[in-house]
Amino acid sequence: NAGVTQTPKFQVLKTGQSMTLQCAQDMNHNSMYWYRQDPGMGLRLIYYSASEGTTDKGEVPNGYNVSRLNKREFSLRLESAAPSQTSVYFCASGTGETQYFGPGTRLLVL
C-alpha cells in the first residue's frame, strides 16, 4: 500500500516550457487535490476533483490544468511555465474530511 505517489520528485524548467506532474493513489479515495506550498503562505489549493470525471478550480488555478484520468490518477499540467510557478507541489487524496498527502514535487522555473 503505497498511499499517494508523485513523480517527478524534482524538476527544473525554463520559462515557457511545459510539463505534467503525475499523482496516483491506491486508497480508493474519491477526492483528489493539487496544492502548492510557498514560504510563509501555507498550502494553497490549485484544483481538486471531488470524484472521477469532475474537476474544479481552487484558490490559485491560473496557469494550470488538470486531468482526472481515472479514480487513481490526477495529473497537473503547466502549459507554459513561469518563474512565479516555482514552488513545491503536493497532491493529496481523501474520502470525507481527512486528506493524505504525497511526498511533493519541487519545481524550479528559471
Q: Which residues would be at the binding site for another protein (CB under 8 A)?
A: 4, 31, 33, 40-43, 45, 48, 50-51, 56, 90, 92, 94, 96-104
Select 17 or 30, whichever has its Cβ closest to another protein: 30
Select 30 or 75, whichever has its Cβ closest to another protein: 30
42: DSSP letter: -
Q: How far is the CB of 80 from another protein (least distance, A)?
A: 27
Distance, in Å, from the CA atom of 15 to the CA atom of 62, rounded to the nearest integer, reads 16
Select 65 or 100, whichever has its Cβ closest to another protein: 100
Q: How far is the CB of 13 from another protein (least distance, A)?
A: 21
Q: How far is the CB of 19 from another protein (least distance, A)?
A: 20
DSSP per position, 57-98 = E-S--TTEEEEE-SSSBEEEEESS--GGG-EEEEEEEESSS-
Q: Phi, psi (5° rounding) for residue 10? A: -150, 140
